[in-house]
Structure 1
Amino acid sequence: MTDLFINYRRQDCPAATGRLCDRLHAELGADRVFFDVGDIVPGADFVDTLERAVAGASVVLSLVGPRWLQAAAGDGSRRLDDPQDFVRREIELALARGTPVIPVLLEGAGMPAAEALPPSLRPFARCQAVALANDRWEADLRSLLDVLAQRYGIHPDPARAQAQPAQGRTRTAPAMAAAMVADLAELLAHPRALIVRRVQDGVAAGSGGALLPALAMLLLCLLLGNLLLGVVMEGPLYRWVVPGVALGLLAAAALSAMLAAAWRAVRRAPCWRSVAPPFAYLYGGAWLYFCAGACVMLLGLELAQPHVLERYLAQAAQAGSAGLPAASALLAQALHGPGMAGFVLGLAAWLAGGAWCLRGWAVFRVALNAGRLAAWCATLLWLSLLASLGALAGWVAAA
């Protein structure tokens, strides 16, 4: 899994292609850019390696030069008309998986018209292109890097580079803390880019390499989220933080196991090692969004009507589940002024968290190298399992 996959034709603009790839390696790091000349080890299956690299990429850069459209094979036929042409197959695979494809126009090339492309490539003509002109190379390249950073979360990570230890050294505590903070900020802004990169780094590190950093991030998110809740709730912080972190870990383990079971039913193969690390990141981020929204809501209620939460909890504990409607009326009375403002802002945080989860959920397709249909089936099966357990718990409580 890499951030960028470079789709190109070797005979088309070789100088500009090499110049661009050298710059991307310098800006992002060679491990985040797949360029087949140096990234396929001797003896590896060329076709399989390319297809897996496309499937695991966050963005595909398709380099289009003046000879891209009319490039011909040895027999004179146009190469794009050959279903086995690598450039064509890589673009088709990216489009089929919903991976963003950015055409990069080199040496004055224009975007090909849809009518000039094979039917399977015609959606490529609708992709927004970026031009890199020789006379304004630096400015155009900076615009491309800005697009990758702002829209797709692919950007240089100075904190990560500084925290990365030299060969043979160990990380210091401040460096690890700085790296965690940088990762958390990127996770909340660009979940897919961060998770894919961290899972890739973990897989390269060996057994347990992907799960341990994910577990550390989950613990950090649970701790911060429960601290936010503890600040606005009555009583000492440890009453909320310790049980909250413990319950969060148990919930994350149970939910990830159920999701892995759903994926196993779809893929017919064990999936827990591939599902657990991404799920830990997503669960931690979702919990932070939830706690931030709840904190704003509760703070607004307290400002509108002091000690309303204390009275609500006391009345709910005394009356039990039958008295919840009456206890909830206390909260409704505080929905004015700061209480209503806090409710609206908290709801906005929850909606943002929901959108964040939807954006990040696609990471499972990358981690498991799966298509849209498999992802939908696994997700729906997982939701069905959750709904069934919820219904069973309600029935047991009612009985």
Structure 2
Amino acid sequence: MATYIFEEMTSEDAENFAPGDILRFSSAAATPANVSVSSTGLDITFVTSGGKTLAFTGADLAGAGSIDFVSSFIAGTDSTIVLGDGTDNDFAFTTNADGNYAYGFAGDDSIQGGSGADNIFGGTGDDSLVGNDGHDNLFGGAGDDTLEGGDGNDHLYGFGLTGDPSTDTDDEINGGSGNDYIQGNAGEDQLYGDDGSDRINGGGDNDYIQGGSENDTVNGNKGEDTIYGENGNDSLRGGADNDLVGGDAGNDVILGDLGDDTIDGGDGIDILTGGAGADVFVFDTLDAPIASTDEESDVFGLVDTVTDFTVGTDVLDITLTGLNAASDIVLQGDGVTFSTAAAAQTYASSLLVNHATGAIAAMQVGADTYLFYDSDGEYTVDTTIDSAIKLTGVTAADLTTDDFGIVVAP
């Protein structure tokens, strides 16, 4: 393996350059603004603003596979470009420079970044790419790839930088620490944001996505995806097809979007929207509401909200302590409309006095319906409501037991 300095290379050096050799940019003039790299097929061309051009032909890189790549070169002092030889490559950067590049080409490659901001391209084959420290860009390319960003705010892509993303297969991508951007694209991908506030896109096919800690933004896109926000206040979108979307801990905003979706906000104060299709809203954990003792005041919080529940189409799948059957739901259809949720809660408590176990009372508050839930079986006139669910724009009198799926809690 030979090492060449870009600024010092001759035409003879270019002819002798072979896959696996190292090309170094050592000049302080090698900045992102004045160095570019482009390719056509097997040919690669580097150009500086000072007029120096270095071109590698397909013959120079025989057996290395093609580079599907047109980009601005992110250069820095003493940056390195490593070219694989088209077989199963295993190499790691040992420098801390920003702007290092590695190309695996064909073969099942294992490439480790250094401490700087690395740019790693797996190419075809089943590759393992690790960014380590620094703000890295990782591109798996075609094949079943495993990408791990490591520390830093990384951009991780299951596919190549250009080309047809639909040729991508099944990737596993881990963001690591930092605020990462992860793109799965085609194939049944496993995408993990891990630490940091991450942005994750599943792409086509059926993906499994975990946001990780902190506040993540996730879009499943196409396919029947399984999405979990985990910790943090997450923004989750199922996308097309029938998705399972769970917020877990935190105050989450969830949109099922197209398809018949199953949505579970989990802990926290969640805002749930099913979108098109017949959706199921799952409630197996709820927070206690905060209501003013003044019934004229509408100070009422810690309530999960379903923004677009469609009576007769969507279903509320409720698994809460004390609920045993549909008979535990009190549908308040006598035309009483309350101006505040606090006043409705007081009236709901009186309706639940005679229930021996847990129960839910549906009450009309303005244009919305509130479902007040009590679980402990200790019923008095002053029964305490354990939690509540708000159904925006729903008329309580329109609800029937068919709109509920009561699952007996274990």
User: TM-score normalised to the size of structure 2?
Assistant: 0.24
Bigger fraction of residues in strand: 2
User: TM-score normalised to the size of structure 1?
Assistant: 0.25
